[in-house]
Amino acid sequence: MIPVQGYSGQRVGVLGLGRSGLTSARALREGGAVPLCWDDNPAAREAAASEGFEIVELGKAGAMDGLACLIVSPGIPHLYPNPNPVIRAAMVAGVPVDNDISLFFGSFATSEWDNLDVVPKIVAVTGSNGKSTTSALIHHVLKSVGRNTQLAGNIGRGVLDIDPAADGDVVVLELSSYQTDLARNLTPDIAVFTNLSPDHLDRHNGMGGYFAAKRRLFAEGGPDRAIVGIDEDEGLYLAGQLSQTAADDRVIRISVEQKLTGPGWQVFAKKGFLSEYRKGRQVGSIDLRPIKGLPGVHNHQNACAAYAVCRTLGLAPKVIEQGFASFGGLPHRSQIIAEAGGVTYVNDSKATNVDAAAKALSAFKNIRWICGGLEKEGGLEALQSATGDVRKAYVIGREAANFAMQLGSVEAEVCTSMEKAVKQAMAEVEEGDTVLLAPAAASFDQYDSFEKRGEHFADLVKAALAE
């Protein structure tokens, strides 16, 4: 655990007692602070009370008196669509509002670092899609070469729950827009921006606010090295803002849509081949096509970002390639769960928005596509250009009929349930087909999480194949 520095003897409010909230309370107490905890869920309050934490209704009159700050869990809105009443009360009272990510950045470095031979580094990864795979891939490659490394944030452990830094440690953080938007301290050594597509627009009041939340990791954090995907205008703009000149190699531009050969430092992938260029000359390359854990263009973008980070950390291209080759991929992200009778079954339940689903569709051929769920803002129009390899769609979710109507020329069957969708798809498959779960929607109309949705799909497929 990382004891929180700077609040010893002070009262600190903790709003939201899920994983990040409880961990924040523990880390605050470990650092000598006095956490005052609250959650609207009685079970969460009971769990915190059982660990000896003081439970205080932070929304009541006078609750903000004497608080040094208020630590907020990422799922609680602080501005849009409306501030949570407790957060509003803190702002009115002038109490600083912060989160666990900020506490981590303010507490990870200690005086004990003076005794380390190699100063630890923090790699922070953000973007709309590919954050988890990119973070896990960096972590995997570092582990494969024996580097001390920890994985935390939206993936792995909570940021304050990791171990204190070891000599030469590299902490890899996956950070969502909810986390970067509020954190008062953001100081990564290396920051990664994968891509941007519409998501969480209600929480950020539109695309401008969403991009601004991601941009804070770079503008506020001032990383020594920035790795930026430039296949969207926002990334192109961000890379330009961070560069002093075209040859400024503190910014590494990455792409899967164009060859990059300018005077700076670039990494791009075309037709399955990753290339690294510096000062207009190629200095490294990897054939990504045989790597089963990184299928499709979207994973090639993740590979470009991870490669750039590992090169910044001093790894040679061949060493990185060996690490990539042993990467098995992540659950629910283009995860091959079975191959039988010439048919491949793929779980990409993490494709919760249109852009992620389009990228999954582009990675496979002859697709029996299971899609649908809680539709996000923006509609499904952006999927139209990605459905060329879809043989048929099997639509799930409470609003399956409306979802199916938006799929244009794609043959679609309204199934509503995952059970019926899997049964129909498996009844109609032919050799060479791919049964792909890529919902292009959130899971919360039928499941507690995208993980539960993906696990249900995988269980149904495996049970049917075992019959």
Strand partners, 336: 346
Of 177, 179, 234, the residue nearest 201 (C-alpha): 177
Would you state the pLDDT for residue 328?
A: 85
pLDDT in tens, 333-358: 888 899 999 999 999 999 998 988 99
Q: Is 127 annotated as a binding residue?
A: yes
Would you state the pLDDT for residue 380?
A: 87
Would you state the pLDDT for residue 296?
A: 87
Q: Is 129 annotated as a binding residue?
A: yes
Would you state the pLDDT for residue 379?
A: 78
Where would I find the beta strands (DSSP E) of 114-236?
A: 121-126, 149-153, 170-174, 190-193, 225-229
Q: What is the mean pLDDT of the chain?
A: 95
Alpha helices in 352-449 (DSSP H): 354-361, 400-405, 418-428
Q: Is 130 annotated as a binding residue?
A: yes
Distance separating alpha carbons of residues 377 and 242, to the nearest angstrom: 30
Would you state the pLDDT for residue 24?
A: 97
Residues in CB range of 314: below 8 A, 6 or more apart: none
The pair of three-digit structure tokens given for residue 417, joined into one six-digit string = 């349930």
Would you state the pLDDT for residue 331?
A: 87
Where would I find the beta strands (DSSP E) of 41-162?
A: 54-55, 67-72, 97-98, 121-126, 149-153
Would you state the pLDDT for residue 198?
A: 83
Distance separating alpha carbons of residues 204 and 174, to the nearest angstrom: 19
Q: Is 243 annotated as a binding residue?
A: no
Distance separating alpha carbons of residues 135 and 118, to the nearest angstrom: 22
Q: Name the one residue in this structure whose structure tokens are 């079970």.
A: 43
Q: Dihedral of CA 189/98/80/44: which sign?
A: positive
Spell out the domains of the chain, with CATH numbers in brackets: 11-98 (3.40.50.720), 105-325 (3.40.1190.10), 335-466 (3.90.190.20)
Would you state the pLDDT for residue 385?
A: 87
Would you state the pLDDT for residue 3?
A: 97
Would you state the pLDDT for residue 184?
A: 95
DSSP states of 304-349: HHHHHHHHHTT--HHHHHHHHHT----TTSSEEEEEETTEEEEE-T
Q: Is 132 annotated as a binding residue?
A: yes
Distance separating alpha carbons of residues 109 and 114, to the nearest angstrom: 10
Would you state the pLDDT for residue 186?
A: 95
Would you state the pLDDT for residue 248?
A: 96
The pair of three-digit structure tokens given for residue 241, joined into one six-digit string = 């803002």
Would you state the pLDDT for residue 327?
A: 94
Would you state the pLDDT for residue 133?
A: 93
Distance separating alpha carbons of residues 57 and 93, to the nearest angstrom: 16
The pair of three-digit structure tokens given for residue 330, joined into one six-digit string = 């992540």
Of 435, 368, 422, the residue nearest 396 (C-alpha): 422
Distance separating alpha carbons of residues 42 and 49, to the nearest angstrom: 10
Residues in CB range of 114: below 8 A, 6 or more apart: none
- Residue 370 phi/psi, 5-degree rounding, is -95, 120
Would you state the pLDDT for residue 2?
A: 97
Q: How far is CA 286 from the centre of its chain?
A: 24
- Tens-digit pLDDT profile for the chain (467 aa)? 999 999 999 999 999 999 899 999 999 999 999 999 999 999 999 999 999 999 999 999 999 999 999 999 999 999 999 999 999 999 999 999 999 999 999 999 999 999 999 999 999 999 998 999 999 999 999 999 999 999 999 887 899 999 999 999 999 999 999 999 999 999 999 999 999 988 888 999 999 999 999 999 999 888 999 999 999 999 999 999 999 999 999 999 999 999 998 899 999 999 999 999 999 999 999 999 999 889 889 999 999 999 999 999 999 999 999 999 999 888 898 888 999 999 999 999 999 989 889 989 988 999 999 999 998 877 788 788 899 999 999 999 999 999 999 998 999 999 999 999 999 999 999 999 999 999 999 999 999 999 999 999 999 999 999 98
Residues in CB range of 54: below 8 A, 6 or more apart: 34, 35, 36, 37
The SS3 assignment for 77 reads coil
The SS3 assignment for 467 reads coil
